[in-house]
Structure 1
Amino acid sequence: MTDTQEGTTMYQVRTVTGPLSPSDIHGPALAHEHLAVDLSRDTDPDAVLLTAAHGPHITTELTGLREEFGLALVIELTCRGMGRDPRALARISAESGVAVVAATGWYYEPFHPDEVDGADVEELTETLVRDIDHGIGRTAIQPGVIGEVGSHGEQPSEPETRTLTAAARAAVATGLSVATHAHLGCGGLGQLELLTSEGLPAHRISIGHQDLLDNPSIHRELAASGAYVAFDTVGKESYQSDDTRLRLLLALLEAGHADRVLLSCDISRCSYLLVEGGQGYGHLFRSFLPKLRAAGVDDELIDLMTRRNPLRFLTGETEGEALLRRSPTELHHHKDD
């Protein structure tokens, strides 16, 4: 989000423990994660990250990633009806030393809460703006992003059209960005068309789960529009192999779109945690980024994808503006990269 002071735009990242300047975030970010979520059903009881049972393990993982890889920020995309717990996010952030951005919005239709039924776009927009301006539930913790707002299929359903439209209007009204859930990678172009038709600029939009879609031409089209292309299920081999993700990402980089890429692991169930034998939040750093480096991607591009891009997505800042606010020492190092 942005503030204006004496004619100067002041970019800020709104975290669960207060606003941060992008210049205060020196390490990488995870652009799409869950730290407290409940998507469980009778047929899928594992789809939870519960505060009491799993919170300490999540804190331990994030602390270790901060110490080993400099992890500085997690964009936590658990939204309305998904078991949000803003107090747990604030506690995990304070104890791990990793900044956390909370979210608002509605997931895709099968997980819509009852409040969506019968509500028109204006009512849904007001609900999101109230979250953003006054805090989540009875807390004063304000979301810093709208997401993960979802659809399934090539075009959103009628309820999904209402929730996505409300997300776009709330984003325009409040200055936040929108991160989507494109189910199994499908429907990103339809999401982008709907969101931008409401006046939301493409560079304030991240289209989710594109690493699950083996279609480089759509990735290029999304990136060329100015939207961010999220390769955000890294390590979920049951959905897609990391080798395929690597091929798709390298194709997007070769097409000149490194400045549109976001990376993350989308840890969304307890079996993904390290303590449960899963890949954990650090899979991106421990496994996937070394493969990128081995394929010839240098640290400057990795910093772009894992730090500068997430910050620009959240704030709307351009890469040129980010360079202008760097210190002389930072600019010298950037020139030498």
Structure 2
Amino acid sequence: MILDNKSKFKNMGNTLIHEHLTVDLSTVKGDNDTNLDDLNAMIDDLKELKNNGINTIIDVTNIGMGRNVRKIKYISEKSGINVILSTGFYKDPFLPDNVVEKSVNELSRILVDEILNGIDETEFKASVIGEIGTSKDNIKDIEKKVFIAASIAHNETGAPIITHTTLGKLGLEQLQIFKNMNVNLEKVVIGHVDLNPDLDYYLKLLDNGCYIAFDTIGKNNYQPDEIRAKFIKSLIDKGYTKKLLLSLDITRKSHLKYYGGYGHSYICDKFIPILTSNGVSDENIKTILYDNPITLIGG
């Protein structure tokens, strides 16, 4: 089921807040592995995820990233996983031409229309603005343009914003744009912070009232999951349980089990036990997976 209004959000259950069902970055990357075009492999992965207790994913694939609402609906129906849809524009060099061509206000109208009226001439509405992103070392002017347009759309609709930070960097700079635009920071998720293992950085982000996402779980080539778990435990001990969110950000066919990858169910099979072994309680895990996403989306 696609969840696209507040009356449905009570059905979210345990939720992963940063996933992609039909992402296609292959044209820019020159790598067909970044085209999630095998629907059956995705369905099999998500069936296993559902059997392991995850009910909903937030699909942060947006305009220009290969989002296909009709395929998402099919995947959702066949797998049993609820899906929450997003609107927005990603980051340079993945931005469509109209981001350059249109004004900030025109871009914001596109986002508002997808939230209020539906995506790609379907009845299915976006409930999230995301993932909107920034480059590694600086925020490019074209990316700032997207952040401002997203802020305008957020202020009009109240839709939460989920960001992409390259290697976990520039989250504070992202928040400054949102502050300048009077965005409600309690409805902002700074993504991929687990790629930047820095507790002081996490605390500075959290002191702004936003959520932070440990959402590249399983990508041990970037950061061992044991380190992710230790940071999560430290933040829980400091009283930030209600501001933490989890996901895997699977974006390659080779991540799926059919192609030999760890698969979506890794978060339940492997990572939750790592959290438990680091002293994270079942109550804490419920807060992060169940309560926090509902508060973000529906609260």
TM value normalised by structure 1: 0.85
Sequence identity percentage: 35
In the other structure, the counterpart of 1:30 is 16
* 1:312 aligned counterpart, secondary structure: helix
Contact 1:155 1:191 in 2 (8 A): no
Q: Secondary structure at the match of 1:127?
A: helix
Cα separation, 2, equivalents of 1:38 and 1:237: 23
Deviation at 1:141, TM superposition (A): 1.4
Please report how far the alpha carbon of residue 276 of structure 1 lies from its aligned counterpart in structure 2 after TM superposition: 0.6
State yes or no: 1:57 paired with 2:41.
Answer: yes
CA drift of 1:229 comes to 0.4
1:306-321 map, 5 Å: 306-315=289-298, 317=299
Match of 1:305 in 2: 288
Distance 2:71 2:249 in 1: 18
Counterpart position of 1:142: 125
In the alignment, does 2:158 pair up with 1:175? yes
Deviation at 1:17, TM superposition (A): 5.2
**Alpha carbons 2:3, 2:9 under 8 Å: kept:** no
- Asked if structure 1 preserves the Cα contact closer than 8 Å seen for 2:88 and 2:132, the reply is yes
- How far apart, CA to CA, are the structure 2 residues paired with 1:59 and 1:294? 30
Structure 2: which amino acid aligns with 1:242? D
**1:175 counterpart letter in structure 2:** G
Amino acid at match of 1:40: S
Which amino acid is the alignment partner of residue 228 of structure 1? Answer: Y
**Contact 1:32 1:264 (8 Å CA) reproduced:** yes
Distance 1:260 1:136 in 2: 29
1:43 aligns with 2:48: no
Q: Deviations over 1:62-120 (max 9, x none)?
A: 222222x2211100000111001011111111222221011110111111111111322
- What's the counterpart of residue 122 of structure 1? 105
Tell me the distance in 2 between the aligned counterparts of 1:164 and 1:263.
23
Say if 1:154 and 1:188, in contact at 8 Å, map to a contact too: no
- CA–CA distance in structure 2, aligned partners of residues 237 and 301 of structure 1: 23
For 1:263 and 1:90, locate their aligned partners in 2 and report how far apart those are by CA, in whole Å.
23
Larger Rg: 1
How many residue pairs end up in the alignment? 297
Q: Distance in 2 between matches of 1:18 and 1:121?
A: 25
Give the structure 1 partner of residue 273 of structure 2. Answer: 290
* Greater RCO structure (CA 8 Å; 6+ sep): 2
Q: Is the 1:16–1:86 contact (alpha carbons within 8 Å) kept by the matching residues of 2? A: no
Give the TM-score normalised by the residue count of structure 2.
0.95
- The answer for the alignment partner of 2:205 in structure 1 is 222
In structure 2, what is the equivalent of residue 9 of structure 1? none
Distance in 2 separating the partners of 1:127 and 1:162: 14
Matched, 1:93 2:76: yes
| 1:194-273 paired onto structure 2 within 5 Å | 194-273=177-256
SS of 1:110's equivalent in the other structure is: coil
Per the TM alignment, residue 140 of structure 1 is displaced from its structure 2 partner at its CA by 1.8
CA distance in 1, matches of 2:268, 2:69: 26
Structure 2 gap ranges (5+): none
Deviation at 1:22, TM superposition (A): 3.8
Distance in 1, Cα, partners of 2:200 & 2:268? 27
Letter in 2 for 1:301: N
Match for residue 7 of structure 1? none
- In 2, distance between residues paired with 1:199 and 1:18? 25
Pairwise mapping of residues 65-84 of structure 1 onto structure 2 (< 5 A)? 65-67=49-51, 69-84=52-67
Deviation, 1:154, is 5.0
Note the aligned Cα RMSD (angstroms).
Answer: 1.5
- Cα distance in 2 for residues equivalent to 1:238 and 1:153: 18
Q: Distance in 2 between matches of 1:294 and 1:255?
A: 18
The structural deviation recorded for 1:191 is: 0.6
